[in-house]
Structure 1
Amino acid sequence: MFKEIGYILISFLIAYLAFEGLLFLLEKDYGIKLPIGEELFLSSNGGENWLAIESPSENVISGKTLSFDPENPQNLYLASPRGILYSTNKGKKFKVNGTKFETETEPVFISEVISPLENPDIIYLISEEIGRNKVLVSYNKGETFRPIFISQKDNKVSAFGADPFFPYTLYLGTQKGNFLKSEDFGSSWEEKKNFSQKIAQIAPNPHQKGEIYVLLSVQERDPFNYWSQRIPAKIMISYDAANSFREFKTKMNISQAKKIVFDPVINRTYFVSDFSLFKKEGSRIEALKIISSPGQSGIHSFTIDPKNSNILYLGMGELIYKSEDSGKNWGIIETPIRGIVKEIKINPQDSQTILLSIEKTL
C-alpha cells in the first residue's frame, strides 16, 4: 500500500516538474505567461499609491466591465450578470441597483460595458451566451436593460460603437465581417458592408462628423483548405457615416494596429500596435519613440489624460509608462503587483484618479 502511495506521489512530482518546465520554456523562448485572472486597483494621486478593488461575491471583475461614473468622479460602476453594481466609496463596497433585464433570462457573462460620455444615462453591455452574444442597452443608468441586437450563433458581435454626434445612430461589427448600422437606437439594423474579415474595432471620430475607422483583424489561412490565403489586417475608413469605405493607407505601415484611440481634447488620433505607437494630426503621421525591454509582451493599454493632451499612459508588459510631452520622453509608474498591465482608465472628471487592471500570470 505504501509502495503504491509512493508511486502516486512520485507521479505527481514528475507532472508538477514537467508543468513548471513547460512554463519556464514558454516564458524563456516565447515570452508567454499563462494568465490566472485580473486584479483591479485605484489610485487617487496619479499612480503614487494604489488601493485594491475587491471583487463583489460571485462576480468576476475586469478592466473592461468596470468604469467611472461620468457624472460623479467618486463613483464606480461594475457591469455584471446581476446588473449594474455601484460603488460610492472608490470600490471598497459595491451594491446592486435593482437592475431589471427585459429578456427571458439574465446574462451569463458580460464581456464589455460602453458608456458614451455624451450621454451618461445610456449604458451598453455586450452579453455573452454559449455560441452567441447580445447588445443590451439601458437609458436610465442601468435600472432596466433590453436587447437591441442578438447575434447569430456562428457570427458573434465583435465590435460596437455609438456615434458621438447622433446618439440614435449605432454601429456594430461581427466576427465574419458584417458591418451594420442603426439610425433608430437599435430598433432596426441595416448591413452597410461585408468585409469578410473579423471586425476588431469600430471607432467613430468624436472630433469629425461622419468619420469612422474600422479595424479588420488578420485572417489566417485555413489549414484544411488548400486554396485559402492569409488575409492581412487592414484599417478601413469612412467619411460619410458608413455609407462607403476605403482602405486607410499611409506612408508609414500602420496596418498592424490593434487599437485606435482618439485624443479627448483635440482632433488627434493614435494607432496602437504590439510594439509601435503612431500619432496622426491633420495629414501628418509620426511614429513615437517608446521604451521596450526584451521579453515584454507588447502594448496592452494606451490612454490619454482627459484634461491634458500632452500626458500619455502606456501599458506595456508589466510596466506603466507615462509621458508628459506627447510621447517624446517616458517615465515609469510603479505597479502595485507583478502582472500584465491590461487596462488603464483615467477618470474624465479627475485626471489624478486612475483605474488599473493587472492580469496575474503563472
Structure 2
Amino acid sequence: MMGLPQINIMFYSRAVSAISRSALGIVALILRDETSTVVTGTTTLKSIEDLTASDWTPENYDYIEQALAGTPSKVVVLRIGTAAELTGELKKLGSIKFNYAAMPGATEEEASLLASWIKSKRTNDKKTFKAVIANQAADDKGILNPTTKRIWVGEKEYTPQQYTARFAGIFAGLPFTQSATYYVLPEVTAIEEHEDPDADINNGELILINDGENIKIGRAVNSLTTLTVREKADYKKVKIVEVMDMIVDDIRDTFAKEYIGKVINVYDNQVLFITAVNAYFKILMGDQILDPSYNNVSFIDVEAQRLAWESIGTDTTDYDDQQIREMSFGDDVFLGGQVKISDAMEDLTFDIFTM
C-alpha cells in the first residue's frame, strides 16, 4: 500500500505535537455587540494587543480580556446583534474551529439553548466542542458548569455566567501535562463560598474555593454525573476528556484524509491503519499522555464484524476470530481500542505511624 508512509507521518506529527497543541486551544465567545465601528461577524484576537476598546462595549471588552488572560492560542468572537435569535447564530458557531465556547451575557434561556446545542453536536455530529455555561446541570462531559454565585474582582462583582469567558480561556490554555484543579485566579479578591464544596463538585459543578490565601478552582470537573459502563468516573475530569477528544479528532481526521474513498477495504489495509494508530499511541505513551505501563492498543472489533455478517444472514458459527478479522464487510471498518489516559496528581493519602 503506497499510502502507508504518509499516514505514519501524519500520525507521528500529531503525536509529537500533542502537548504543544493542547496548550493552544481556541476560545469561541458569543457576544451581543452593535458598536458602530465594527459590523457583526467573527473577529479573531491572539493577544491583548489585537484588542481595541472602541470596537466593543465595555462589558464585552472585559469578557475578551478575561478569555485572553488564560493564554489560549486565540479568541474567536462571534459578534451578533442585540436582537438576533441565538438559534440562527449557532449555525455560524458550528463552522468555527474551537475547543471551548462561552456566552458571558447569555440569558437563562440562551444558556440552556447553547448547552443543548453543544450536546447535540457531540452526540449527533461527533464534534469535540465543549462549552462553559453557568448553572447548567447538563450531565454531559462537554459542558462545564460554574456555580459560584458571586465573584469579586476588586470592587466589581460578577455572576458565574459573566465569568465563563475567564474559565474558557483557562481550560483552552492549559497543556495535557496540567490539570486546572487548584488553578489560582489571582485577580479574584472574594467569592460567595459554597456551603458544601465536596457535594457540589460531586454534583458536576465547577466551583471556586478560598483556601485562606488564594481563590482557586476546586476541582476541574465537567457536568457529567450519570456514570455508565461506557462513561466512567474518569470522564468527569476535564483533563481526561481533553485527551479523549484529541485522540478522537486525530484518528478521525487522519482516516478521513488518507483512507476514505482512497483505500480498498480489505484486511491487510485495515492492519496497516491499525499499525499506524498503535504507533501513534506509543508516542503518546512516551509523553505520558497515555499511561506507559498500560497496553494501549487498537484492533479489529471481531464481535462487531461478526454481528455485521450475521445481520445479513451469514452463519459465522464455524468461523474462528482470525477468520472473522479477515472477512472485511462492505465499506465498513469495525475497529476497537483500549487506552488509559494519564491523570494529574490531585488526591493524596499519606498515613504516617509513630512509635
Query: Scaled by the length of structure 1, what TM-score is found?
Result: 0.24
Kindly name which structure, 1 or 2, has the bigger radius of gyration based on alpha carbons. 2
Q: Answer 1 or 2: which has greater helix percent.
A: 2
Greater share of residues in strand: 1
- Determine which structure has greater relative contact order: mean sequence separation of CA pairs < 8 Å that are 6+ residues apart, divided by chain length: 2
